[in-house]
Structure 1
């Protein structure tokens, strides 16, 4: 959800003070990287899963307050839309069979949450974009009651000065072109976020590795082909999120001003590169300051919270975001991989995460890293192409040239993932279970997005209109999601 704020609008004096504090935080953070001890006793990973709520009619239900009250579990929190909730998974180590315990815990937690949601008149849908969501659902109250969301909405539109134009055309020719007078479309984007705790001197290697494979993650894990009734990109979440939070008027785009949701523009040599870019390029959206004196805290030998820098970082939406955090008084660093959509099933989410952690480890540890042999623009092009075409996308990869993403995964990246997970200490049967899902997904050519598209087309061929087909597809999706078998095994109704 991000850090809470108290206000929804800010004075010029508050903005000036915030800018000064952010720069002061940045200076202290630079000193910390060279002199401070960061927590790294155990290699920890974390996960967040954003979820949708629907009623018996499979339409979004604006009831997260009552659903969360029914669930009564602090691991579940609000998200931007009243039809969204988020599950936060406690950090845990990766070795041995811990992933199997995580899968079991996720299944138990979501089953319990589903039962409690049902009691509140809702169902949980774990999917990248809710396919039954339509513009009319945003004509009444839709935003969660949280000052942060209201403040973000106000700040984005104040900076932009006009309505936001959403324009996405799918590879099949369908196009969505519309104006939005709020950030409501952003709430449609529900994801799985993977956290990896890293040492300061290794951060750049792991971030570069994550950037390099983000396109492949999208190709094999896409699950968001429909928005407002249109068949768009296989992972429409990405262009939708990029456009729905764009603070730039067209003239600023033409000047080359950077977007707040972006892939980046270069490989990095330190985590400082990213925080420094955030401060240099992006004006504040939520300029709330604290009374902390970071210099005094640092010079006293303690770890400053750097609240202004962290809050600012939370309003720059990189697909791989740098995280500075403090737990029990100890600072640590994380790479937050924000690429993947939610769903389709728990085992699919686990397989996607295992693939990511394994490949990232091997790329980061390589004597001749892939980012020294591939331009950053090539990685960005891979990302865009894979979001657009999903499992059928072609990518560029050093040593392979132009190659289908599924072929590259089978021939090269899955063996790397297996070796990387072994380096993390993950048991062989765990590696076989999750990487086997990725292998079968590539061999069948079916991921969440391709199944959704095939299902809707099949229902339309039977005479259903688009709205009915989307409703029928989602009904079948939820049945299969609860059954729990991986998406590559799902049959398309004939």
Structure 2
């Protein structure tokens, strides 16, 4: 989030000062984006990967700070719950063989985390939601003991006037929970890709990412269980929205918007409108002021850091999020946040190649396609893809009436593979690299096997002769063994 957070509770005047700084930051950002040449440069990609620490039996092991203390790798950091870690990969040029470079980054970072974890008796599980997670593993004791996480949890409770969170998710089974803190968010681990784009291209690239997310999620799902229940193929989507919901019972007639959001409409102009939307619709949670006055910095000819705006944007969890980065000469990028962690590095690279390729490949068609798809339909696609995975029916815009038309997710992804290839190769990715990764998606479609589907089938086999808790533990052991082989999930046996 940029700024260091050293306290948990804030006064009214701190919120007022933070709101004024946000308004100044938006004005400064407007001026920065109007500067000739700002953010123009080669496209780059980066990634963040979250993971679980587990013990010898496969249950969450809350030792993330101890593990962090055993490594000096700057890519490794803690996450919200004590059994979570994250690695932040170094960005690389999109042109050439970016996924080869990213594969080396993934593998070296994971190897270092595994080495450090082993010193604490921990193993690393890379999956969207840990199948063995139990209610007892969560709660206030699971929260990573850093002020920023305690402050976030306290702010959400305060916004809810201490009313407990209520989580309701229906699937093959159903789950209903009441919860007092944000530790349920740590049940989710994701893979986030970053794509640097020129400001002039931002709106069409962002809209393309929004359009592409549903079909990619349908073929990439890897989170079918939560607390022993069979729920959505990508249960993270349902859980995350409810796990950090700061709204509580409506206190006014004015609409309140959930902080985990697919968005509120197609982008029209660029990144400024998305930052402005976050400021307008979401009250600040962490009103920490940085040392820099953005308009003064701008008047002196410098590039403002916009620390407060970046902090605020970090507490609005859009599935595709606008990022302002003041490092170097500054740039903007799109953070693609919907993909789950796992199952393997190859699977995650293939998912990224498909999503990034479609974002690039569809961007030039936005003017023709978007009139044929109301934004609410794109939002519905996202939820159906998360819930039903490969079985989802998605509405897709067509150039001729009628539009949109319902298309099975598998058929849609197959149809879109050449678009993704064109997007990658057109951006300078070596064709051989693009083809190798997109062929993984093609094979996954033929096998009808995502991470979520493999887990569901494996559980059914194991549960036929053992209780579900034991079956989930046995499933995780098989999952981790197959993941360690490096073979993509569609090649995993059901043994």
Scaled to the shorter chain, the TM-score interval is over 0.9
Q: Name 1:87's counterpart in structure 2.
A: 87
Question: What is the match of residue 401 of structure 2?
Answer: none
TM-score, scaled to structure 2: 0.96
Match of 2:168 in 1: 167
On the 8 A contact 1:60/1:83 being kept in 2, the answer is yes
Contact kept, 8 Å, 1:71 with 1:117, in 2: the verdict is no
Report if the CA contact (8 A) 1:2-1:314 is conserved: no
Aligned pair in 2 of structure 1 residues 408, 253: CA closer, same or farther (>3 Å)? farther
Relative to structure 2, which stretch is displaced further, 361-370 or 313-322?
A: 361-370
Q: Judge conservation of contact 1:374–1:398 (CA < 8 Å) in 2.
A: yes
Kindly state the Cα deviation for residue 101 of structure 1 after the two structures are TM-superposed.
2.6
Alignment of 1:293-442 (within 5 A): 293-328=293-328, 330-366=329-365, 368-399=367-398, 401-410=405-414, 412-442=415-445
In structure 2, the gaps of 5 or more residues are 399-403
Match of 1:110 in 2: 110
2:449 paired residue number: 446
Residue 232 (structure 2) pairs with residue 230 (structure 1)? no
Alpha-carbon displacement from aligned partner over 1:366-421 (angstroms, at most 9, x marks no partner) = 274432321101100100000001111110112371111111111x2101011111
Structure 1 residue 252 displacement after superposition: 5.3
Deviations, residues 198-218 of structure 1 (Å, cap 9, x unaligned): 111111111111111111121
Report the more deviating stretch, 195-204 or 398-407.
398-407
Tell me whether 1:187 sits opposite 2:190 in the alignment.
Answer: no
Aligned to 2:241: 242
How big is the shift at 1:193?
0.5
Change (3 A) 1:369 1:90: farther
Partner of 2:250, secondary structure, is: helix
User: Do the aligned residues in 2 keep the contact of 1:129 with 1:226 (CA within 8 Å)?
Assistant: yes
- Partner Cα distance (1:4, 1:239) in 2: 30
Distance change (3 Å), C-alpha of 1:386 and 1:252:
farther
8 Å contact kept, 1:48–1:88:
yes
Separation in 1, partners of 2:9, 2:263: 29
Specify every segment of 5 or more residues in structure 1 that has no aligned partner in the other structure, as ranges: none
With normalisation by structure 1, the TM-score equals 0.96
* RMSD between superposed Cα atoms in Å: 1.5
- CA distance in 2 between partners of 1:59 and 1:2 (Å): 32
Which residue of structure 1 lines up, in the alignment, with residue 490 of structure 2? 488
Change (3 A) 1:71 1:82: same
> In 2, distance between residues paired with 1:436 and 1:88?
26
For 1:43 and 1:295, locate their aligned partners in 2 and report how far apart those are by CA, in whole Å.
28
Cα distance change of structure 1 residues 252 and 48 upon mapping to structure 2, 3 Å threshold: farther
Matched residues in 2 for 1:202 and 1:478: separation? 40
What residue number does 1:260 align with? Answer: 259
Partners of 1:209 and 1:371 within 8 A in 2: no
- Deviation, structure 1 residue 448: 0.5
Match of 1:16 in 2: 16
Hey, what's the Cα distance between the residues in 1 that align with 2:226 and 2:23?
39
- Cα offset, 1:165, TM superposition: 0.3
**Contact conserved, 2:3 with 2:288, CA < 8 A, in 1?**
no
Assess if the C-alpha contact under 8 Å between 1:217 and 1:339 holds in 2.
no
Q: Is the 8 A contact 2:244 2:260 kept in 1?
A: yes
The 1:4/1:216 distance shift into structure 2, 3 A limit, reads farther
Q: In 2 relative to 1, CA 271–98 (structure 1 residues): closer, same or farther, beyond 3 Å?
A: closer
**Correspondence for 1:77:** 77
Hey, what does 1:125 align to over in structure 2? 125
> 2 CA distance for matches of 1:140 and 1:98?
40
Take 2:164 and 2:189, find their aligned partners in 1: how far apart are those partners? 23
SS at match of 2:13: helix
DSSP-derived class of the 2:333 partner: strand
What does residue 158 of structure 1 align with? 158
Aligned residues: 488
Partners of 1:267 and 1:4 lie apart in 2 by 33
Describe the SS at the equivalent of 2:91.
Answer: strand
Q: Is residue 160–residue 249 contact of structure 2 (8 Å, CA) maintained in 1?
A: no
Q: SS of the counterpart of 1:221?
A: coil
Is the alpha carbon distance of 1:112 and 1:389 closer, same or farther for their aligned partners in structure 2, counting shifts above 3 Å? same
Deviation at 1:450, TM superposition (A): 0.6
Pair 1:244–1:119, CA change in 2 (3 A):
same
Task: Find the counterpart in structure 1 of residue 34 from structure 2.
Answer: 34
* TM-aligned CA deviation for residue 139 of structure 1: 4.9
Q: Which residue of 2 aligns with 1:282?
A: 282
